[in-house]
Amino acid sequence: MSHLLINDITKKFGNFFALKNVNFELEDGEFLCLLGPSGCGKTTLLRIIAGLEEPDSGKIFLNGKDITSVHPSKRKFGIVFQSYALFPNMTAYENITFGLKNKKSSKNEMQRKINELFSIVNLDHVKFRYPSQLSGGEQQRVALARALALDPDFLLLDEPLSALDAKVRNKLRKEIRETQEKLKITTIMVTHDQEEALTMADRIVVMDKGKIMQIDIPQRIYELPANPFVADFIGDINFIKDNSAITAIRPENICIDEKRGIEAKVYHREFRGAFYRLTLCLVDKNQMIKVDIPSNKKIGFLENNERVFIELPADKLITFKDNEYYHDHNYGNNNFDEFKTKVLSS
Binding-site ranges for Mg ion (CB under 5 A): 43
- Could you tell me how many residues of this chain bind ligand ATP (CB under 6 A)? 11
Pairwise CA distance, residues 100 & 151, whole Å = 10
Residue 18 binding result from Mg ion, ligand ATP, none, given CB thresholds of 5 to 8 Å by partner type: ligand ATP
- Kindly tell me which of 13 and 336 has the beta carbon lying closer to ligand ATP: 13
Q: Which residue, 190 or 293, is less far from ligand ATP as judged by CB? A: 190
Which residues face 309 on adjacent strands?
257, 263
Min dist CB 82 to Mg ion, Å, is 5
**Residue 287 binds which entry of ligand ATP, Mg ion, none, CB below 5-8 Å type-dependent:** none
Instruction: Tell me: does residue 192 bind ligand ATP (CB under 6 A).
Output: yes
Neighbours of 25 (CB within 10 A): 14
192 makes contact, choosing from ligand ATP, Mg ion, none, with CB < 5 to 8 Å by partner type, with ligand ATP
Helix (H, G, I), strand (E, B) or coil at 32: strand
Could you give the CA distance from residue 40 to residue 20 in angstroms, rounded to a whole number? 10
**Pairwise CA distance, residues 228 & 206, whole Å:** 12
Burial of 53: CB neighbours in 10 Å, binned 0-12, 13-18, 19+: middle
- Least Å distance, CB 42 to ligand ATP, is 4
- Phi, psi for residue 145 in degrees, rounded to 5: -65, -35
Compare residues 47 and 265 and give the one whose CB is closer to ligand ATP. Answer: 47
CA atoms of 36 and 346, how far apart (whole Å): 41
| Residue 161 backbone zone (phi > 0: left; psi -120 to 50: alpha; other: beta) | alpha
Closer Cβ to ligand ATP, 40 or 264, answer by number: 40
From Mg ion, ligand ATP, none, interface partner of 49 (C-beta below 5 to 8 A by class) = none
Give 38 or 106: the residue with its C-beta nearer to ligand ATP: 38
CB closer to ligand ATP, 44 vs 227: 44
Dist CA 172 CA 162 (whole Å): 11
Determine the Cα–Cα distance for residues 331 and 325; give it in Å rounded to an integer. Answer: 10
Q: Is 44 in the site for ligand ATP (CB under 6 A)?
A: yes
Q: How far is the CB of 43 from ligand ATP (least distance, A)?
A: 3
Contact 172, 161 (CB under 8 A): yes
Question: Site residues for ligand ATP, window 11-40 (CB under 6 A)?
Answer: 13, 18, 36, 38-40
Which listed residue (33, 41, 227, 288) binds ligand ATP by CB under 6 A?
41
Report the residue number, 77 or 331, with the smaller CB distance to Mg ion.
Answer: 77
Report in angstroms how near the CB of residue 42 gets to Mg ion at its nearest.
5
Residue 42 near ligand ATP by CB under 6 A: yes
The neighbour count for residue 4, using CB atoms within 10 Å, is 22
**Interface residues toward ligand ATP, by CB under 6 A:** 13, 18, 36, 38-44, 192
